[in-house]
Structure 1
């Protein structure tokens, strides 16, 4: 057991011994954190999160309402795909952190479909961890020091499957990417729809979720889907298999019913599988979009986005009336911090952004982010501050009253967290956080979408710049996102003196970060030597 985990257990024990009163709970908000999967920056119809580039095709009225009720971030960042984002979010650390180590989904040696292997690569990738450290200090541990009840309902990628061990999660309701069951004597898989198993009846392949697996009936539609009936012909659902997205939403609503207005606050983390491929929408919504002239593929995608949106609304509405009796006297909305975020950029069209999920271009790492906390966070507000998944741990610590700086100091090891709190921005007390730099480091390969790369993003005045370093070619690329959101103009192709100055400073900061974090780079295949970091004067080769 690490010193950090030991310290957390001591603090939890002290907290439990001293008792926990309802008055203490009143000053510590419940926290509901919804994480979409592969939802792109322009996949929502609100313009608050994307400089008014909201979708004209996909409909997300519940997410739009959430944006009108809280603060949206136009420059919210993740890692390039799901596991490293979730690992960083939960650990509060970059992949280089002592408790993280998750750089990519699966491995850093993902086959390139174009070449059917790695025939010409120069670098043997770093061998990464697949999950965060069980003994590390994480977001659940942090909140438990303040008496929070904790739950994960959905996809746990970046932590063990199924969740085992001491991660500080009271209810680890994990469900895999694929639902598997024996149907008519054969092993059958489904990505989103419940299956009828020969031995177990209707199932999602999970003891936690199977009670939500029964097909849609009129009673369920009337009680759960009727607030959204104007959007589709819901009668076509009767008798059809239950969608996993609805099941995760139902489970979350039941959790809120159980935990609302109890003596202890709760942290409900809901990582949905939607809108990850293989995309399967809900029948009524898919038919709606087909009738509007979308192709079958587009209709399924639009259907799944709207289904996710409905479940965001379902969970939000449960806060207003936790016991579902129509009496709002038990409303806990005003004492609940509600967060909506995505784990990486979209897998399809992210225009005006360049790239998609799996890349370090803006389309791969820039996502929607919304916070709502009535009477604390200003309604319909927008921040352009760049924030990252590593920032949630210290930000939620501020809202929960955790003196995380003292925890880090007492730990005495290599940092509990790497992120910066943006709580003061949410509360309207600041416009910016002090940090200027964000980093991404990928010491390996993922099909055609990335090769060994380090990226630094830097705020200079009111502009954000990105500097890439590509280890195979020892080349750099520099972009000014304020003027070039689509990353079309590499400023090092014909650099001005100003751009050279920016690039030199960013390279120096990148090199300092790599060294301070002992970031791995892999080894050269030809001789086994460690791949070096960029040289301090490497940018100087670009002529003005």
Structure 2
């Protein structure tokens, strides 16, 4: 054959193959994403040991979540913020509270009164006046995914964004529900935290135009078809005719959303911030009775009931992915093309042992939470990592998993958005053991009743160990802990530090100061003279030598 003809033949073969590969790459479907965000579920509140270094609960039963952990990757060092709104704001914005589009440091305000004294006594600092919701003009996690054609939905708690959820937040279906359900009944305003109310005008309601269709009381059909398969050993007959639980309604909405969108051309992002297991705990009657019969105190029985109810609704959502059309066959299963995430917004309400503290604290019991990622054939099954991750990391991670170049995004004014998080996508896929970031930060320029006062916290990874350095503005004091060796934060290293520990503390002190200055973090003002509260001194830990 003529050499020229050989070359020509090869070129004609290669070009179509290259074009075919490019077209096929474009046709590879983006994964659907389901993000279940529990409320106040602690690190030790689920029964799997994967997420909590074998400290799974012996009281609360979460078989669905346990199985999810065995099918994906669990994080033992997953963190959130100390309570609801700042965690949601950070997750959605991809920014610390110091970020320009965030500014949500606490629920309500940074001047939360002390419950112990029914007032606000002896405070030294006038707190920073925070924002209650993130700004509309940022490019948030919903906006990022919409650049790849995602349809977006939120069903549940909208803390960190306005309620009712209106405006340009990138959410196609904002089925947000306030935690306190209110309705006029017989002319009187009645409140409920978890059970539907029978309103004079609306009938059974959760005060949500999208979710009210799921508010009717439990009937035999629902009990037999939806609840019976879970074999929870509770007496389901107790439910007949009783008000629907909000957790079941959110689960039902999620199931129907998946059914409607499973076979659509574009993928979906379903964000499900449950209200369970938040305070004013009200379990489902059958499950509460089951735990009461086991001898638990009423408050703990209600909490156990809520956790199992949450688990059942994670199961509902998971089953909808397996069989979207509900015909009992798996030929329409979309599990393999769905990223399923289970996460919590802050530490638990009750006992988080061996962790110190609870919701509202900056100790591990207030910040460390369960986290599971499942993405079949992409994320290895039954794997565990101790890489520290945070709310702010979800936006860049999901962007990486869906092939969004966040550096190319621009806001309406033409400026580029700034994100504080780091992608841990390569941790999930097993390509890396660590992300390059070593430091995480929490900054609180105010008060939350008795649970925190003006303070900054940073965590640093040094080789395979994690350290925490606290700074308290009122007293100009530091505390330091090695949470890898001392998970319960019992030994304040600075009370008797070694020379190496002082060197680590000095470096952390410098990193903390640099971060505060770079982010122009607010600190409030001294009440005694109105002057700005200063940042920690550089090398302020030298006095502990």
> Is the TM-score greater than 0.5?
yes
1:321 deviates by: 0.3
> After TM superposition, where is structure 1 displaced by more than 3 Å over at least 4 residues in a row?
21-27, 408-415
Structure 2 CA distance, aligned partners of 1:98 and 1:191?
33
- Counterparts of 1:289-308 in structure 2 under 5 Å? 289-308=291-310
Structure 2 CA distance, aligned partners of 1:380 and 1:356?
28
Once the two structures are overlaid, the 10-residue window that deviates more, 204-213 or 474-483, is: 204-213
Q: Deviations over 1:311-346 (max 9, x none)?
A: 001001100000111121111000000000000000
Contact 2:409 2:417 in 1 (8 A): no
Query: 1:259: which partner in 2?
Result: 261
2:512 aligned counterpart, secondary structure? helix
- Counterparts of 1:97-496 in structure 2 under 5 Å? 97-407=99-409, 413=415, 415-496=417-498
Question: How many residue pairs align between the two structures?
Answer: 523
Q: CA RMSD in A?
A: 1.5
1:325 aligned counterpart, secondary structure? coil
Structure 2, unaligned runs of 5 or more: 1-22
Query: 1:51: which partner in 2?
Result: 53
Contact 1:26 1:335 in 2 (8 A): no
Structure 1 CA distance, aligned partners of 2:491 and 2:25?
56
Q: 1:413 to 1:98 in 2, by over 3 A?
A: farther
Query: 2:85: which partner in 1?
Result: 83
1:221 aligned counterpart, secondary structure? helix
Once the two structures are overlaid, the 10-residue window that deviates more, 407-416 or 62-71, is: 407-416
Structure 1, unaligned runs of 5 or more: 1-20
Structure 2 CA distance, aligned partners of 1:85 and 1:248?
20
Structure 1 CA distance, aligned partners of 2:55 and 2:516?
35
1:116 deviates by: 2.2
Structure 1 CA distance, aligned partners of 2:523 and 2:392?
21
Structure 2 CA distance, aligned partners of 1:164 and 1:345?
29
TM-score (norm 2): 0.94
Structure 1 CA distance, aligned partners of 2:83 and 2:421?
19
Contact 1:408 1:416 in 2 (8 A): no
1:98 deviates by: 0.8
Q: Deviations over 1:237-286 (max 9, x none)?
A: 11111000000000000000010011000000000000001000001101
Structure 2 CA distance, aligned partners of 1:71 and 1:118?
44
Q: Deviations over 1:36-61 (max 9, x none)?
A: 00000000000000000000000000
1:390 aligned counterpart, secondary structure? helix
1:328 aligned counterpart, secondary structure? coil
Larger-Rg structure: 2
Contact 2:138 2:417 in 1 (8 A): no
Query: 2:70: which partner in 1?
Result: 68
- Counterparts of 1:11-30 in structure 2 under 5 Å? 24=26, 26-30=28-32
2:178 aligned counterpart, secondary structure? coil
Structure 2 CA distance, aligned partners of 1:355 and 1:528?
33
